[in-house]
A and B are shown apart, each in its own frame.
Chain A
Amino acid sequence: MLDAAEKTPAVINPKIFARGLNVFYGKKQAVFDVDLDVIDRSVTSLIGPSGCGKSTFLRCLNRMNDTITSCSVNGSIIFDGQEIAEYDPVYLRSRIGMVFQKPNPFPKSIYDNVAYGPRIHGMVRNKGELDDLVEDALRKGAMWDEVKDRLDSVGTGLSGGQQQRLCIARAIATKPEVLLMDEPCSALDPIATAQIEELIHELRKNFCVIIVTHSMQQAARVSENTAFFHLGNLVEFGATQKIFTNPDDPRTESYITGRIG
Chain B
Amino acid sequence: MEKHIVSQFDSDLEAIQAHILKMGGLVEMAISEAMRAFVQKDTELAQSVRAQDSAIDALEELINEDAARVIALRAPTAVDLRIILSVIKVSANLERIGDYAKNLAKRTGVLIQMNEIEDASNALRRLAREVELMLKDALDAYVQRDVALAEDIISRDNDVDQMYNGLFRQFITFMMEDPRNITGCMHLHFMAKNIERMGDHVTSIAEQVIFIVTGELPSEPRDKADETSSFKA
Q: Which residue of A lies closest to B1 (CB)?
A: A259
Contacts of A256 in B (CB 8 A): 77-78
Contacts A245-B215, A246-B215 hold; do A253 and B5 have CB atoms under 8 A apart?
no
> Number of A-B pairs whose CB atoms are under 8 Å?
41
Contact B77 A257 (CB under 8 A): yes
A-facing residues in B1-57 (Cβ within 8 Å): 1-6, 9
Contact B77 A260 (CB under 8 A): no
Task: Annotate A229-261 by CB proximity to B: 1 below 8 A, 0 otherwise.
Answer: 000000000000000111100000110111111
Contacts of B78 in A (CB 8 A): 244-247, 253, 256-257
Contact B75 A259 (CB under 8 A): no
Contacts of B2 in A (CB 8 A): 254, 259-261
Contacts A258-B5, A258-B6 hold; do A245 and B75 have CB atoms under 8 A apart?
no
Task: Tell me, in angstroms, the Cα distance from A260 to B1 when the chains sit together.
Answer: 11
Does chain A have a CB within 8 A of B137? no
Q: Which residue of B lies closest to A248 (CB)?
A: B215
Does chain A have a CB within 8 A of B80? yes
Task: Tell me, in angstroms, the Cα distance from A247 to B79 when the chains sit together.
Answer: 9
At the interface, is chain B mostly helix, strand, loop or mixed?
loop
Contact A245 B81 (CB under 8 A): yes
Contacts A245-B215, A246-B215 hold; do A257 and B79 have CB atoms under 8 A apart?
yes
Does chain B have a CB within 8 A of A220? yes
Task: Tell me, in angstroms, the Cα distance from A253 to B2 when the chains sit together.
Answer: 10
Partner of B4, one of A245, A246, A257: A257
Contact B215 A260 (CB under 8 A): no
B-facing residues in A12-36 (Cβ within 8 Å): none
Partner of A217, one of B5, B6, B75: B75
A-facing residues in B98-146 (Cβ within 8 Å): none
Q: Which residue of A lies closest to B74 (CB)?
A: A258
A-B contact pairs, 25 of them (CB 8 A): A216-B75, A216-B77, A217-B75, A220-B77, A244-B78, A245-B77, A245-B81, A245-B82, A246-B82, A246-B216, A247-B78, A253-B78, A254-B2, A256-B78, A257-B79, A257-B80, A258-B4, A258-B5, A258-B6, A258-B9, A259-B1, A259-B2, A259-B5, A260-B2, A260-B3
Which 5 pairs show the lowest CB-CB distances between chains A and B?
A246-B215, A259-B2, A256-B77, A244-B77, A257-B80
